[in-house]
Structure 1
Amino acid sequence: MTCADDAERDRVAAFRRALGLEHLIDVHTHFMPQRVLAKVWAYFDAAGPLVGRPWPIMYRQEEAGRVALLRGFGVRAFTSMLYPHKPGMARWLNDWSADFAARTRDCLHTATFFAEPGAADDVRRAVGQGARVFKCHLQVGAYDPNDPVLDEVWSLLADMGLPVVTHCGSGPVPGPYTGPGPIAALLKRHPRLRLIVAHLGMPEYEDFLTLAERHEDVMLDTTMAFTAFSESAAPFPPHARPRLAALRDRILLGTDFPNTPYPYAAALEALTTQDQDDDWLRAVCHDNAARLFGLEEPRGFV
């Protein structure tokens, strides 16, 4: 690692040490085929319509280097969030992800789907390959989660209790099916879904907190929340902090690594700005995800 990498690793270690955590678990990290990732980075570089502002990518290392960075930060388990933007992509993305998980022991095997005929077959195939968590990106995919073509998908995932990390908030820019309305309708039809609302539902934080309060299987991840980058455009309302505290068992660490415009350490340090106690931070940064995915829970900083 470079000196700069060492300095950041020390910042992350200091964060973990203060909480007595040997490890972190990050449920929102992106690994995908290199040619797909290159297109994603190019889109961010151009501040495309779904980005809406300059967004310099922090970590452009090749794949092995990015995995090594997460391990160096003490992340013991992470996802490979990937997503299709058109029909016909989900299956080959899932095949790549299955291979990545097979050669990356600390990856939580991640899969995806699209609103298209055969989506349920894609999900069954991915589960057969060992998928443990799914990604649903309503902003990029621009599909209605209540499209009848997805009814069987949601039923399957609910029956199996598999969590689905869902970008459904309207940040950074709204899509035709983002916002709390489509998700509220989906949960009315499939109340047992284990949805993890990405980005705390940014910017509709309070609406998605309400959905989590109403549905015991709905969770939220912290991806980009509370950082200076996000607060400048979509600040989290201070009066909602007690609701964060009350949901401590259903909020999970997410970061968007490697696609953040700031260091990994900054995402962790931002969590300390919301007046939550150390028990909340430990639950969010490790224990909740460990319980969700059935991982052993080592405690104590080494």
Structure 2
Amino acid sequence: MNDDDVPGWWQSLGLPGLFDVHVHFLPPNIQAAVFAQFDRAGPKIGRPWPIRYRGSHDERVAQLRALGVRRFSSLPYAHKPGIASYLNDWSREFAAQVPECLWSATFYPEPEAAGSVAELVEAGVEVFKLHAQVGEFALDDALLDTPFGILEDAGTPVVIHVGSGPVGNAFTGPAHLERLLRAHPRLRVVVAHLGAPEYAEFLDLADRYDETRLDTTMVFTDFFEESGAFPRALLPRLVDLQPKILLGTDFPTIPYAYAHQLEALERLDLGADWLRAVCWDNGSRLFGGPVSGDG
């Protein structure tokens, strides 16, 4: 499958399009810095990672629209103190200009986080993103307790990269999320990359906590499989957890065609109902919108 085939693919499933919860749009200077880290295969990346989609913001929005991605995120993530407000201001403007984009925001363990999160939630922000691996912070940092409590009470989802892929450190792994969920069991967490490579442990957490979900970002693709394949013995659990699995891709920071993520999901052979749930219905239910059976 190539990108030109994508609209026909989701149309054959009877979907109105694709709902991708894990897409990045960042301020140009930050985006350039991120691309540079991937180009040099930095220490938190650990392998060559040639980025396929390097166009301007307008070009990349046009690419998503051509693919039929009807809803997507921008997912800024603060990697150090003092940058969250800059990222959030930019993301707010971006979402205002791109109606398909979920209004996305971030925060970091710093004293300003509680007030910022409260203001953003009150204003209507739709999703937050945290990256524990890059930001090197613990999810149970005391400075994050109030922000997470606000999100838990509001029901605002937060996408969290806390799995140990591609390169683990002291701030990654399922134990970190488990401590957070013990304190905030109703928090609407979406675990990035299905928690790779600790798939079984993060699936366990999704089993135990009603509002814990996972996204498919890069999982099952040839690029991910060659460095640590998803255990085939766990495939039945993806069926059991069908309502909690959401399409994610990491566009534009991927070294293959967008279509390959969809092809990788299809070749799991989990059925058309599973693909419909993952690629549209589950995201639409989480963020509010029609599901494919609504007509």
Common fold: TM-score over 0.5: yes
Q: Which residue of 2 aligns with 1:167?
A: 161
Q: What one-letter code is carried by the residue in structure 1 that aligns with 2:148?
A: W
SS in 1 for 2:236: helix
Question: How far does the alpha carbon of each residue in 1:132-189 deviate from its partner, in whole angstroms, 9 at most, with x for none?
Answer: 0000100111000001111101100000000000001000000211000011111011
Number of residue equivalences = 295
Q: CA deviation at 1:92?
A: 1.2
Pick from 59, 64, 69 the counterpart of residue 63 of structure 2. Answer: 69
Q: Return the alpha-carbon distance in structure 2 between the equivalents of residues 299 and 262 of structure 1.
A: 31
Pick from 252, 255, 258 the counterpart of residue 261 of structure 1. Answer: 255
Q: CA deviation at 1:22?
A: 2.8
Residue 224 of structure 2 corresponds to residue 233 of structure 1:
no
CA contact (8 A) 2:281 2:290 kept: no
Q: Return the alpha-carbon distance in structure 2 between the equivalents of residues 298 and 276 of structure 1.
A: 18
Q: CA deviation at 1:14?
A: 3.0
Q: How does 1:101-250 map to 2 (within 5 A)?
A: 101-250=95-244
Q: CA deviation at 1:121?
A: 1.1
SS in 1 for 2:43: coil
Q: Return the alpha-carbon distance in structure 1 between the equivalents of residues 272 and 294 of structure 2.
A: 14
Q: CA deviation at 1:273?
A: 2.2
Q: Return the alpha-carbon distance in structure 1 between the equivalents of residues 185 and 122 of structure 2.
A: 24
Percent identity for Structure 1 against Structure 2: 52
CA contact (8 A) 1:90 1:122 kept: no
Question: How far does the alpha carbon of each residue in 1:89-125 deviate from its partner, in whole angstroms, 9 at most, with x for none?
Answer: 0111101111111111110100000011111112123
Q: What one-letter code is carried by the residue in structure 2 that aligns with 1:173?
A: V
Q: TM-score, structure 2 length as denominator?
A: 0.97
CA contact (8 A) 2:165 2:196 kept: yes
For structure 1, the 5+ residue unaligned runs are 1-6
Q: Return the alpha-carbon distance in structure 2 between the equivalents of residues 18 and 103 of structure 1.
A: 30
Taking a change above 3 Å as real, the CA distance of residues 73 and 170 of structure 1, as seen in their structure-2 partners, is: same
Q: Which residue of 2 aligns with 1:3?
A: none
Q: Where in structure 1 do 4 or more consecutive aligned residues deviate above 4 Å?
A: 298-301
Q: Which residue of 2 aligns with 1:4?
A: none
Q: Return the alpha-carbon distance in structure 2 between the equivalents of residues 256 and 300 of structure 1.
A: 28
CA RMSD of aligned residues (A): 1.4
CA contact (8 A) 2:276 2:292 kept: no
Q: Return the alpha-carbon distance in structure 2 between the equivalents of residues 104 and 124 of structure 1.
A: 24
Q: Return the alpha-carbon distance in structure 1 between the equivalents of residues 290 and 232 of structure 2.
A: 34
Question: How far does the alpha carbon of each residue in 1:1-24 deviate from its partner, in whole angstroms, 9 at most, with x for none?
Answer: xxxxxx944221232133122300
Q: Which residue of 1 aligns with 2:264?
A: 270
Pick from 92, 96, 102 the counterpart of residue 90 of structure 2. Answer: 96
Q: What one-letter code is carried by the residue in structure 1 that aligns with 2:96?
A: A
